[in-house]
């Protein structure tokens, strides 16, 4: 070859290389997955609904962030204050699924919530890309995250006096950890960068991620941004700079623009080179053609935008993408809504995009900030996700709050359109192309060109046998998460019955992590899978259903080269057997499926861990039972003691004969025959006027004793009887309390059939039911006046010849609450419900084609319940309230409806029979059929018994009692699945000041028992207080503090609803759900009835409570020396408990007993830092040095115990004798 030829060949090679480099430089980047949490939207589908419906997600600053009333001041120059009350916020920034990400409660509480939310949203983005998040280990995957605020650091520092900064403060709050944490957890080997260029951070991160892919530095990129508003300090500083909107809205391009509204959120996208994505058959959502980043330089001010720089930026992005300016038909503007910035941006954009543009095809401009506020560092990624969704829908959503465009922009001269409604996006000329701008306050700008997915050849799918059984593999990190996941799949398959079966099963198997709790379902159709999912969720089993928990990797007893049917794959999967999943699941097209149901628990500054782990929800559940105590026995000293008996009410005829004795007198006020002017008070005073003050008075109040035949049930009759009975007892107490009396004077209340002691007991009649409230009122009377309270006694519904004699014996008994049934007496007790309530994995029946009614539906508790019902599959709700839908609940209602539910909000008083009859009739006419009733309506008007009047009784009792009775009458002939009465723990414990409230709820309890006796569905839940919702949310701080000091802690709403989910599946009439420290409840001077009801709980749970104390870091009091004389097994058990307690204290796990001795400790969040602490504590407590290398990695409690045992010195036996061969007696140094 001649020199000329060689030169020519070299030139050709160089030219080819240059062309290749140019192609790589402009390689399109495919968006293959994305996920988000934005205000009013928890996922991309909800986000598109928000955009397409023109929804504004801005609200008043919620109390969970800070008290806006404390910081609000209309004067912008007021230091430390803020002149705006608005922002756009996420619903839950405290919750996190720490166990899934192998993070301990201790570390989670020190970790910036921005890290936590990034972990979860990234997991979702990978799943939506059809990628198993745990399959990326050691891959060349890069992470680029934009973030600029770190409010949690301020909270931690401000709280350092109460909660000193932890070891995890640095790693939990360093900006670099936002990206580094993702790479660490997923095991990624590509670059990991946290980018802070202020408001342009996430779009700059996207630009760098694309560069990393184009240069070959990475083969997959995870990029996004996050922004949370947690501290008022930065908000106040921005207000001082007068950047925020006084009107509380982003009015981009509007004449009324007055600044921006801050917002929070997180968005993550998964990127691949376009050629790789098409080769791999990925779902390509959109294509990033090119991008550019530059700087404003020396503009008019540090935060002032620079028009010429913005124009240069746009030209650079177009050049990098190979796209002509005229091809771009939509621009997602930075558009913060400032009078200065908006005109600069529009003029800069039109200086490029408007050149030679046909006015018939104007450039459409909009900004997502008008919907969700300015997400600051996450603003760019929010704009990108909006554009990708719009490209897929071929629709441009409305730009809000711009009724009158700003006069500072010459609109008439510019080929620009600002859409005031959602419009169809027409291709121009043959494809849809959009641009996105993001400008940083410090001058760094980014611009990205995005194109709709081009037509690409489909990657051939492997053939599958028609009609063959497919297997759906589902797994989660906990039993509850698995149940939630199964329920989500059942809903998804119901909404999309035409989903290709092979694609569905392929995506679930290949595109999801295989976690420890597993379920496999086989079927030859989507309908078959859905049916078997329903069977399993209902607690059933059968062919084609497999479930199990994996601890480590199992062995498979056949070659994976052999063919396997769906059942064999399912069995192998739930046993954890290692299989070649790619071979078993032929390649198909990935499809959108439900993402992982994260199990949120709150972790926050000052709170080292969740108040109650999911596994401890059973500790909140109790049954109310009646225990037999034998036949009543008289106490002669009591019967023979001189006294005066006052018998009041529905007096039994033979009672006075039983009250005759030496020195005993009696008087009778029979309310059925006595003529009383006004109330009973004067009659009582008159009857007791001649009784010497030194003589004890024993007052027997009989109510509802007569057997009255059941007749027509008038709606207002029973509620009137409830109030009448309670009023009569209150009048009796108040009148007796005003006259001089002996210190041993007592009042007993006697009812008939008001208490349901046995499943065989017939339903209470309305006449008997109306007296159930007396038991709640009587318990509060006992709390407020224990010296005046005699007791509560319930006679058998049918009566007996000996009951009056037995009654007098009961009066003399040292029992405050008794029920007579035949010749036997019963006492109420409260029992833990662990053993029977939580058996099985059944789910409450909540159907999409059914209607669920919630009374009190516009209250905080009603709205939480509504969201819970929708999350469980309900699609038709009727939220009844007297006020109807008000502006105060606008945001919550928007969220409920955005979730796909039809929510009706009729104004009606649940205590008004005719109004409720109209509501029920409308439901039955419009459909779907009513299948569930939840009665939440209630009010508080706290007063002592001696201060109660009829108005206060009616105000509290009527909504609950009349409302429940109306709902019973109107629905008893309907085929209901649920009839749930929200009662209160107050009915059982009688708190001081709440006699009316206790009475109202005691009636609800009795109604539930009566309905069950009628074979009708019913459940009364005696709730403890809920944190921030319901009645507890209305309590004054000092009252709430009193409740906490009494041993009752307000429940986190999520825990309470999780508990309800369990009990709805059980055939029980009444369950107590409360977070109670029984030792504290019974500490001090408590009424006798309460001790008799619950004392056994303190005795039975002493050892468990000791474990809880130790798990909170208290020094274990167990003397391990006691174990030395026992067996080797006893020693191992003692050491295991010892290590569990140490770990619970170190990791701040709420209960030491929840730590599985055989589960790797890194799954609880153990790392080198906490491993060092464990090493040091064992050395301090036992004098044993363990190697740090043995305490990290896959170590378990069991392996730590073995290491300790191997290093314990041998103890000489008593008397100095040498130990015998094989002796396992050891000496431990504490």
> HSE (CB half, 13 Å, CA atoms) of 185?
23
Report helix, strand or coil for 1043.
Answer: helix
Given a contact cutoff of 8 angstroms between Cβ atoms, the answer to whether 883 and 896 are in contact is no
The alpha helices in 129-222, defined as continuous H runs, are: 151-158, 169-173, 177-186, 201-214
Report helix, strand or coil for 860.
Answer: helix
- Other beta carbons within 10 Å of 636: 9
When computed from its CA atoms, the radius of gyration of the chain, rounded to whole angstroms, is 35
Is-catalytic flag, 334? yes
DSSP per-residue codes, 873-912: T--EEEEEBSS-S-GGGHHHHHHHHHTT-EEE--B--TT-
Q: Copy the structure tokens of residue 95.
A: 């919750």
Q: How far apart are CA 1203 and CA 566, in angstroms?
A: 44
Q: How far apart are CA 292 and CA 161, in angstroms?
A: 46
Give me the catalytic one of 199, 266, 519, 726: 199
Q: In sequence order, what are the residues at sequence separation of 6 or more whose Cβ sits closer than 8 angstroms to the Cβ of residue 1215?
A: none
Q: Copy the structure tokens of residue 1185.
A: 């040095």
- Other beta carbons within 10 Å of 624: 23
- By residue count, the chain amounts to 1230
| Cα 232 versus chain centre, distance | 25
Closest CA relative to residue 1169, chosen from 72, 104, 18, 54: 104
Please state, in angstroms and as integers, the Cα–Cα distance from residue 780 to each residue in 557, 648, 829, following that order.
Answer: 66, 20, 17
Give me the catalytic one of 374, 623, 876, 968: 374
Give me the catalytic one of 49, 144, 306, 334: 334
Ramachandran angles phi, psi of 600, nearest 5°: -80, 135
The phi-psi region of residue 478 (left if phi > 0; otherwise alpha if psi is between -120 and 50; otherwise beta) is: beta
Q: How far apart are CA 826 and CA 630, in angstroms?
A: 7
Write the burial class of residue 953 (CB in 10 Å: 0-12 exposed, 13-18 middle, 19+ buried).
Answer: buried
Question: Which run of H or E residues covers position 1143?
Answer: helix 1128-1147
- Distance between first and last Cα of the chain: 88
Q: How far apart are CA 775 and CA 1017, in angstroms?
A: 23
DSSP per-residue codes, 297-310: -S-SSTTS--HHHH
- Other beta carbons within 10 Å of 458: 9
Please state, in angstroms and as integers, the Cα–Cα distance from residue 1095 to each residue in 745, 1047, 1082, following that order.
Answer: 26, 14, 7
Question: Which run of H or E residues covers position 1078?
Answer: helix 1078-1081
Given a contact cutoff of 8 angstroms between Cβ atoms, the answer to whether 964 and 1008 are in contact is no
- Other beta carbons within 10 Å of 1194: 11
Closest CA relative to residue 1001, chosen from 1022, 975, 980, 1032: 1022
Q: In sequence order, what are the residues at sequence separation of 6 or more whose Cβ sits closer than 8 angstroms to the Cβ of residue 712?
A: none
Please state, in angstroms and as integers, the Cα–Cα distance from residue 1026 to each residue in 432, 779, 950, 968, 1023, following that order.
Answer: 51, 22, 28, 26, 8
Is-catalytic flag, 374? yes
- The 3-state DSSP composition of the chain as helix, strand, coil percent (nearest 5) reads 40, 20, 40
Prior bond of 1046 cis (ω within 30°): no
Task: Enumerate the active-site residues.
Answer: 199, 334, 374
């Amino acid at each position: 070859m001649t020199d000329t030829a060689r030169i020519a060949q070299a030139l050709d090679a160089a030219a080819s290389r240059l062309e290749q480099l140019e192609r790589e430089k402009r390689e399109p980047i495919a968006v293959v997955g994305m996920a988000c949490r934005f205000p009013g939207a928890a996922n991309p589908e909800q986000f598109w609904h928000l955009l397409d419906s023109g929804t504004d997600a801005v609200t008043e600053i919620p109390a969970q962030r800070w008290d806006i009333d404390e910081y609000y001041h209309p004067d912008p120059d007021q230091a430390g204050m803020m002149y705006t009350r608005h922002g756009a916020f996420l619903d839950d920034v405290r919750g996190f699924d720490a166990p899934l990400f192998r993070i301990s409660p201790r570390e989670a509480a020190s970790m910036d919530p921005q890290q936590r939310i990034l972990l979860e949203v990234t997991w979702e983005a990978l799943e939506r890309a059809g990628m198993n998040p745990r399959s990326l280990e050691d891959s060349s995957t890069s992470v680029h995250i934009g973030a600029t605020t770190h409010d949690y650091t301020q909270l931690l520092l401000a709280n350092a006096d109460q909660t000193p900064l932890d070891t995890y403060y640095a790693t939990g709050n360093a900006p670099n950890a936002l990206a580094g944490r993702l790479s660490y957890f997923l095991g990624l080997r590509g670059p990991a960068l946290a980018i802070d260029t202020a408001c342009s951070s996430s779009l700059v991160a996207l630009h760098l991620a694309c560069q990393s892919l184009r240069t070959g530095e990475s083969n997959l990129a995870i990029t996004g941004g996050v922004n949370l508003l947690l501290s008022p300090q930065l908000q106040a500083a921005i207000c001082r700079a007068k950047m925020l909107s006084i009107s509380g809205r982003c009015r981009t391009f509007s004449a009324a623009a007055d600044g921006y509204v801050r917002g929070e959120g997180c968005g993550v996208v998964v990127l691949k080179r376009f050629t790789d994505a098409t080769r791999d058959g990925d779902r390509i959502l959109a294509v990033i053609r090119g991008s550019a980043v530059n700087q404003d330089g020396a503009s008019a001010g540090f935060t002032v935008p620079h028009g010429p720089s913005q124009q240069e930026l746009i030209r650079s992005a177009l050049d990098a993408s190979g796209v002509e300016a005229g091809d771009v038909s939509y621009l997602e503007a930075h558009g913060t809504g400032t009078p200065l910035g908006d005109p600069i941006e529009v003029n800069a954009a039109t200086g490029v995009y408007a050149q030679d543009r046909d006015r018939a095809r104007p450039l459409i401009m909009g900004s997502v900030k008008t919907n969700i506020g300015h997400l600051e560092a996450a603003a760019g990624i929010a704009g990108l996700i909006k554009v990708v969704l719009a490209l897929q829908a071929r629709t441009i959503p409305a730009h809000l709050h711009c009724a009158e465009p700003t006069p500072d922009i010459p609109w008439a001269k510019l080929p620009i359109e600002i859409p005031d409604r959602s419009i169809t996006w027409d291709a121009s000329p043959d494809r849809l192309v959009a641009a996105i701008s993001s400008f940083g306050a410090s001058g760094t700008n980014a611009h990205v060109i995005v194109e709709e997915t081009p037509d690409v050849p489909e990657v051939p799918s492997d053939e599958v046998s028609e009609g063959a059984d497919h297997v759906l593999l589902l797994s989660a990190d906990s039993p509850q998460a698995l149940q939630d996941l199964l329920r989500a799949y059942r809903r998804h398959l119901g909404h999309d019955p035409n989903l290709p079966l092979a694609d569905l099963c392929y995506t679930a198997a290949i595109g999801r992590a295989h976690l420890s709790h597993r379920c496999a379902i086989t079927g030859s159709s989507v309908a078959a899978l859905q049916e078997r999912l329903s069977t399993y969720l209902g607690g059933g089993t059968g062919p084609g259903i497999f479930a199990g928990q994996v601890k480590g990797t199992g062995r498979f007893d056949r070659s994976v080269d052999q063919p396997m049917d769906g059942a064999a794959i399912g069995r192998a999967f739930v046993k954890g057997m290692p299989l070649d999943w790619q071979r078993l699941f032929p390649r198909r097209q990935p499809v959108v499926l439900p993402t992982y149901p994260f199990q949120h628990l709150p972790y926050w500054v000052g709170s080292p861990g969740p108040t109650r782990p999911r596994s401890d929800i059973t500790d909140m559940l109790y049954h109310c039972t009646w225990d037999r105590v034998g036949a009543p026995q008289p106490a002669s000293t009591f019967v023979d003691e001189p006294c005066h008996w006052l018998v009041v009410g529905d007096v039994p005829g033979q009672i006075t004969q039983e009250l005759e004795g030496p020195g005993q007198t009696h008087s009778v006020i029979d309310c059925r025959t006595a003529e009383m002017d006004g109330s009973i008070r004067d009659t009582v005073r008159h009857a007791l006027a001649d009784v010497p003050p030194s003589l004890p008075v024993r007052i027997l109040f009989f109510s509802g004793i007569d057997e009255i035949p059941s007749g027509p049930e008038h709606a207002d009759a029973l509620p009137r009887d409830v109030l009448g009975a309670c009023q009569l007892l209150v009048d009796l107490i108040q009148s007796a309390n005003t006259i001089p009396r002996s210190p041993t004077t007592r009042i007993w209340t006697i009812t008939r059939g008001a208490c349901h002691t046995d499943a065989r007991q017939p339903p209470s009649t309305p006449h008997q039911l109306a007296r159930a409230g007396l038991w709640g009122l009587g318990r509060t009377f006992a709390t407020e006046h224990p010296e005046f309270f005699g007791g509560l006694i319930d006679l058998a519904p049918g009566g007996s010849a000996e009951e009056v004699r037995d009654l007098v014996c009961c009066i003399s008994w040292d029992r405050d609450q008794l029920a007579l049934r035949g010749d036997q007496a019963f006492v109420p007790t409260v029992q833990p419900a662990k053993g029977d309530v939580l058996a099985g994995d059944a789910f409450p029946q909540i159907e999409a084609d059914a209607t669920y009614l919630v009374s009190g539906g516009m209250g905080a508790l009603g709205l939480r319940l509504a969201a819970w019902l929708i999350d469980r599959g309900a699609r038709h709700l009727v939220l009844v309230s007297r006020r109807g839908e008000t502006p105060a609940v606008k945001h919550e209602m928007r969220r409920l409806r955005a979730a796909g539910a039809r929510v009706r909000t009729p104004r009606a008083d649940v205590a008004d029979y005719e109004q409720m009859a109209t509501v029920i009739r409308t439901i039955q006419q419009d459909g779907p059929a009513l299948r569930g009733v939840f009665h939440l309506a209630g009010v508080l008007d706290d007063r002592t018994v001696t201060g109660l009047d009829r108005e206060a009784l009616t105000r509290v009792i009527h909504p609950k009692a009349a409302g429940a009775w109306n709902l019973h009458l109107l629905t008893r002939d309907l085929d209901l699945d649920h009839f749930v009465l929200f009662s209160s723990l107050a009915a059982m414990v009688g708190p001081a000041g709440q006699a009316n409230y206790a009475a109202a709820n005691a009636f609800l309890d009795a109604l539930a028992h009566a309905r069950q006796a009628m074979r009708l569905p019913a459940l009364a839940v005696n709730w403890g207080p809920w944190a921030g919702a319901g009645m507890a949310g209305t309590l004054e701080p000092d009252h709430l503090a009193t409740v906490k000091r009494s041993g009752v802690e307000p429940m986190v709403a999520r825990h309470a609803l999780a508990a309800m989910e369990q009990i709805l599946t059980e055939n029980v009439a009444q369950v107590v759900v409360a977070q109670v420290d029984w030792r504290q409840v019974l500490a001090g001077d408590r009424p006798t009835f309460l001790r008799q009801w619950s004392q056994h709980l303190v005795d039975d749970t002493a050892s468990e409570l000791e474990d809880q104390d130790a798990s909170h870091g208290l020094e274990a009091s167990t003397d391990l020396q006691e174990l030395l004389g026992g067996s080797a097994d006893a020693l191992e058990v003692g050491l295991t408990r010892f290590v569990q307690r140490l770990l619970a204290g170190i990791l701040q796990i709420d209960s030491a007993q929840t730590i599985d001795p055989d589960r790797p400790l890194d799954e609880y969040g153990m790392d080198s830092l906490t491993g060092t602490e464990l090493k040091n504590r064992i050395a301090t407590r036992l004098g044993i040095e363990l190697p740090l290398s043995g305490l990290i990695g896959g170590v378990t409690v069991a392996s730590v115990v073995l290491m300790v045992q191997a290093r314990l010195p041998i103890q000489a036996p008593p008397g100095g004798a040498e130990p015998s061969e094989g002796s396992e007696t050891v000496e431990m140094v504490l």
